[in-house]
Each structure stands twice: as structure tokens, then as C-alpha cells.
A and B are shown apart, each in its own frame.
Chain A
Amino acid sequence: MRMTRRDARRHTGARRRVAAALLAAALAASACAADGDGPGSPGAAGDGTEPAGEDGADADTDADAGTADAPEGDPLRIGMATSLSGSIALFGVANQNGAQLAVDQLNASGGVLGRPVELIVRDDQARPEEGAALARDLILSEGVDVLLGPVSSGVALAITEVSEERKVPFITHTANTSALMVEQFQPYMVSVVPNTYMEARAQGVDLADEPYTRWATIAPNYEFGQRQTQTFVDTITAENDQVEIIAQQFPELGEADLRPFITALISSDPEAVYSPLFAGDLITFTRQAADLGFFEQVEFTALYETDALEELRDEVDLEGVRGYSRCPFTIDNDQMRDFVDAYQQAHDRVPSDWACMAYDAVMLWAQVAEAAGTEDADAFVETVEDFSFTGLRGETHIRGIDHQAAVPSYIGRLTFDDELGFYVYTDLQTVPAEDIWLSEDEVTELRGG
């Protein structure tokens, strides 16, 4: 996910640190508290950023020692650059946990190509320059065979350049800007996450059939929010000419008080509201909207992912609210059930979308390597085109033209789960990739233009 304002903050952060360094002399007394925060020191990525009480992945790659078919030889290496600090660190920790679980399972069942697999995770701090530098370092110093990550789309665009330059495969599983498949496409990139275009279009396609004609939107005010909203509006108005967009609000990312925005929406009397708000902003919105009677008055739909629902617990009545998700843990198949069990055993919580998709990224790479019979990058590219892999979302095909996995967008109703103590997705429906992605002609046309 795509953090322009975050990047801006990071920059001011750097400037602030310069100012702070100047002041260290004047203020010798208060220097001690800032220690743990050495920006750019890669070794420090795991510690200090791991929230107290959160169980970060313990990197016990040799957990499988002693099994009969233990893999042998030099390990194959997976490098992951993701965000382990900043407001999206939750997503990065889930990425790490999901990928580590996949690696542990691979090692327990004989490794890949008979060799053990190792996962190396670094913090990209949601900064494109940092992401590019990490990707280069992972390739040159650690000799990784594949890159995974990141959370931020800005970082993904930086990493895809390194991947192309160094000819190392890059699988994106969280960042989902459609620029990766279109303007900046390069053959070493593969995406196992529905891209921004697909995700917003899925909502437009699905909701166009509903009996709502007066629509409003509320989205974070930066490139991601604006683009998703525009795609949604274009889709739903094209699919249903009765639909009217009567109000649009764009609060700043991280806005603490969304009530004036919510009351402004309510006052324009919409029947339904679409929102790409996520994480902390979505939690704020949900709590404040509930007290304003919002959910009783309008049909609302947003990216309610597991972390947000976990934080909201039973505080707000969300029974029956429509949500969309990229890879909910309630998907009904054997792979997902096994994965959820294993994840719960390891971390005592259910996996979020971000853990599920990182797991899928590792499994895709492993299955391609086995099919190709080598970890060679060019063999990977050749094999992955029109490849079908078995992941948590079932048998999934990779399209040749843009290396986008044919993953659906999931839509569900929220239902309170007594056992877990928070709302989960039920009555899952899928909007298949074929209905929502850019057609091959459109991709070609956009690239030519």
C-alpha cells in the first residue's frame, strides 16, 4: 500500500534528526531515550520495531532438523523487504510471519529442489530509496534467489527496477499499484495480490447490481485513495446509468477526527458509501460513524481486513456490514484451513490477509522452481508465464501478459465470531479476476501510450 504522505513524513523525519543532532550538544541531559532508533542500520530491523506483546516470527529455520528427508546442500534464499516500522508495520510483521511459516513447511517436507530454504527479512521503512538499497544488498551480499515484499507501492516500484536490473525474480504480495503490471512492467515481476485497478473495479462491478443509486465516497487524500475512488466511480457509473455520485470526501491520512466528514456525508443523504480507507483510519471511521448512526442509515463497504476487525473487537455493531478483502482467512478450502491451524499454533492468532498473501508468494516461487527443476531466474520467468500454482486461494493461474495472478476480490458480510471475539467475513463471494482486470488489449494499449 502506497504511502505518499508517509514518505513525506519520513523526509521530515530525516530533517528532524539533523536538527536533533545539532541539539544533542545543547541538551546532553535528554539523549538517552532516542537510542534504539538507528535509521538505516539493517541489523536493527527486527528488534526495537517489534511491538511489545506481538509475537514476531522467530527465525528458527532449522526447526525441522532430524526429519527423514531433511534437505541438504546450500540453502536457497528468499529475501523480503517489507515495512517493520511506521504505521503499516503490522502488515510487515504479518508478511514476515506468513512467509516464515511457508518456509518452515517447505523445509519440513524436503525443501525446494532438495535444498533447504532460508528467509531473510529487512525493514524498508516504507521508503523507496531504502527498499531499493535493501533489494540490492539482499541480491549482492546475501545472494537471494527471489525478492518478496513490500507493503508500500512506492517501494514496490523501486524494487521492481532493481529486480529487472539484477535479473532476480520479484513477487509482490501486498503492494498492489497497477503501475507494476502496466507502465513499469518487467518480466521478473509477478503479482499475487489483486492490483488497485482490480480491487476497486470489483466493488463497482458487484455493487452496480444492487438497488442503490445515490452513492457517496470517502477516501484518504493521496494518490492511492484518489485512484481507487476514481476507478470505483468510473466502473459503477458505467455499469449502471442510474447511479449518481452525490458526495465525495477526502480526509487526510491519519485524520483523528472524521466526524465532520461523516456528518457531511450523512447530510447529503446517500443510500450507499464506498471507502478505500484502511487500517487505523478505518478503525477511527468505524467507531465515529457508529455513534453517528451511520451504519443504520447507509449501506457501507470498505477494506475491513483482519487487523482492523481485531482492534475493533465487539465495540461497534458491524453485523451484516459489507466488506471486501484480499485474502480472508475464512476462505473455505483445505489449504487455508491447514494454514490457519498452523498459523494459530505458531502465533496464537489468526492470519491476516497480509500473512496469507506472503505465504502464497513463497509457495508460488517454490512450485515454479520445482516445475522448472532449477532456481535460475530466467527459467523462473519462462515457467511462471501461464503457470498455475496451488495457494490459499485455490488453483491460481498467472497471466502471461502482465504476470498478474488471477486472484479474485473477496466480498463478505461481517459476522461476530464468539470464539475469536471479533468480526469475521462470512458468506464469502468472489469477483473473478477475469471480470475485473484490464483486458490484454487494454494492457497493450496503456503500455503503448
Chain B
Amino acid sequence: MSTNALLLQILTGLSRAAILFIVAAGLSLVFGAMRIVNIAHGSFYMLGAFLAVTVAGAVAGPFGFVAALVVAPLIVAVVGGVIEVSALRRLYGKEHLLQLLATFAVLLVLHDAVRWFYGERPRSLRAPEFARGSVDLAGTIYPRYGLFIIVAALLIAGGLWALMSRTGLGRDIRAAVSDPEMLGMVGVDVRRLFTIVFMLGAALGGIGGVLAAPQTTLLLGMDVDIIVQSFAVVIIGGLGSLLGTAVGAVLVGVTFALGIVWFPSAAMAIVFLVMVAVLVVRPTGLFGIPEA
């Protein structure tokens, strides 16, 4: 395999990792702070993608995509907030199985809601003008949009890092991650914090969906497809760790892309083998926090 080909393969792996990181970061954040494994997280991704088509259609012209990138995640965040307040709030501290079933029910409800609004037809969204076509990287042709996604993921990673380390909200979230019981005692409004965290997590899923939309075809099954891979990412990286999610996403994306070259029919199996290997060595994932 030539160097150029290898570079191209790694780049496609990284753009795959970029979407995985954005989506899995939301999943990981919600688990870290709230100890909720949200099976419905992939639905936020799907919802974001379909809403992007609607918003970009309504705001025609060059700003359609930008509008979608802002409005769709906001709507998804509100949906997330409603779900947290109406359903999940009742389940904190209850057994994990009940929480799993509840988020699973949310997945079904959102799935049917998207089907009801959008029907079964596959949808697509055009990339924004500035990210169309391809660039020539020293003889390797690469989609401009792929680079755009990688940059977007880096910006989001930076933003999340700043949020967690530089703001009061971030401090509260970190406190919730390390010791949820103490949080209420020191005067933090835990109910409000959890709603905000869940909305933020949902918005990240939504942003992932909007960013994924221009490069793929929107199908009703995309919620389940992304959630399976997102779980692989957070299990490798360690649930609740932002750095772990980033490393996990890159590992999953690049392993998959390279796996395709050498073992075409077993690429996803290799990803799960990596996951198993990590779990054997570090049961809480590479950067995971052991359960208190």
C-alpha cells in the first residue's frame, strides 16, 4: 500500500471518527454526570439530521446549512429537555435496567415520530457551498467536506474542554462525575444541572446528525447504527471521559478504515476485538473513572 493510499485511508478514518466523537461525547457526558446509559442518544443524531433537511429547506440559499447547524441542535436540545423533565427525572437512583428500558422506549417513540413526520423516503442534504467538491492533498483527492467535519470536531472538542475546565457549569459537571452524592449537599441545584447536561448531550447528538447529513443518506435506521458504534467508542475510551471519547473515536474510526483494506469483510469485527482487548486490560476503558 502506497503512502498516499495509507494517508487517504487514515483521513477517511478520521472524518468517520469526527462524527463518532461528536455524538459519543454527548453520550459520555450524560453518563458521566447523570449515570444514565441513554440508548436513545442515537435518536437525537437522527432527529438532528432530519431536522437539518427541514431547516435548510426553509432557509434556502447559502445560509441554509448554517441555519440548520444552529436551529436543529437547539430543537433537539429542547426535545431532550422535555424527555428529561417528563420521564428520566423519575428514574434517577432507580435500578439501571429500568433506566435502560425507559431510554429504549424513548428511542422507539422518537423513531416513530421521525417516521410519522418524514415518511420512509431516504433524504439527503447538500453540503454548504464552501465545503463542496474536493481538495488535492499532494496528489490525493479528498472531499473538502471531510476536512470541514474534522475541523468542526476539533472545535467542538476545544469548546467542550473549555466548558468543563473554565466555567461554573463545567465545575459542577465535573463534581457530578466524581461524586454525585456530595453535589446536592454543597448547594448545587442537581435537578437543574441534570436537565442542562441532558440538553447539552442531546444537542451534541443533534450537531453530529446535522454534520453527518450532507455526506450520507438519511434513513430511518441511522439511530441504531450510530448508537452501536458510539457505545464502542465510549467503552474503549471510558464512559464519562472526554479525552477517552476522543481517543476512542479515533481508534474506532481509523481501525475500521484500515481494517477494510486488509480484512474487508471483518473490519467491524476488528473494532470490537479492539474493544474487548481494552476491556480485558482496563475494564473501565482507557480513561474511564471507576464506579464510586
- Residues of A in contact with B (beta carbons under 8 Å apart): 9, 16-17, 19-20, 22-24, 26-27, 29-30, 33-34, 36-37, 48-54, 85-87, 89-90, 221, 247-250, 252, 254-257, 259-264, 266-267, 279-281, 283-284, 287-288, 291-293, 311-312, 315
Contact = CB atoms under 8 A, between A and B. Distances in A.
B260 A260 contact: yes
A48 B116 contact: yes
B257 A29 contact: no
A292 B120 CA distance: 28
Contacts of A288: 143, 215-216
Given A20-B108, A33-B109, A293-B141, A221 B102 contact: no
Contacts of B115: 37
Interface in B89-133: 98, 101-102, 104-109, 112-113, 115-122, 124, 126, 133
Contact of B105 (A20, A36, A87, A256): A20
A268 to B, nearest CB: 8
Contacts of B264: 247-250, 264
Contact of B12 (A85, A90, A259): A259
Given A23-B102, A288-B143, A264 B261 contact: yes
B116 A51 contact: no
Interface string B200-217: 000000000000100111
B87 A257 contact: no
Contact of A267 (B9, B13, B109, B116): B9
Given A34-B112, A87-B122, A281 B13 contact: no
Given A27-B102, A264-B261, A51 B121 contact: yes
22 contacts: A23-B105, A30-B109, A33-B112, A33-B113, A51-B118, A52-B118, A54-B121, A87-B219, A89-B120, A221-B265, A248-B264, A249-B264, A250-B265, A257-B16, A260-B256, A260-B257, A260-B267, A263-B12, A266-B8, A280-B217, A287-B216, A291-B215
Contacts of B25: none
A267 B112 contact: no
B145 interface: yes
A280 B109 contact: no
A261 B120 CA distance: 26
Contact of B101 (A22, A52, A311): A22
Contacts of B108: 16-17, 19-20, 34
A51 B119 contact: yes
Most buried by A among B106, B118, B144, B260: B260
B133 A260 contact: no
Contacts of B185: none
A85 B115 CA distance: 10
Contacts of B118: 51-52
A19 B101 contact: yes
Contact of A90 (B5, B13, B83, B121): B121
Nearest to A23: B105
A291 B133 contact: yes
A43 B225 CA distance: 31
Given A30-B106, A256-B216, A291 B145 contact: yes
Interface of B: 1-2, 5, 8-9, 12-13, 15-16, 19, 83, 86-87, 98, 101-102, 104-109, 112-113, 115-122, 124, 126, 133-134, 141-146, 212, 215-217, 219-222, 225-226, 256-257, 260-261, 264-265, 267-268
Contact of A311 (B109, B122, B261): B122
A311 B124 contact: yes
Contacts of A53: 119
A19 B104 contact: yes
Contacts of B268: 252
A255 B216 CA distance: 9
A267 B120 contact: no
Nearest to B132: A291
Contacts of A20: 104-105, 108
B3 to A, nearest CB: 11
The 9 closest A-B pairs by CB, nearest first: A51-B119, A291-B143, A267-B5, A293-B141, A260-B257, A280-B122, A89-B120, A23-B105, A259-B12
Contacts of B260: 249, 260-261, 264
Nearest to B136: A293
Contact of B98 (A26, A37, A249, A266): A26
Nearest to B87: A27
Most buried by B among A17, A24, A26, A255: A26
A184 to B, nearest CB: 28
Contacts of B107: 16
A23 B104 contact: yes
A76 B226 CA distance: 48
A223 to B, nearest CB: 14
B2 A267 contact: yes
A267 B257 CA distance: 12
A30 B85 CA distance: 12
Given A50-B119, A293-B141, A23 B101 contact: yes
A50 to B, nearest CB: 7
Most buried by A among B5, B120, B256: B120
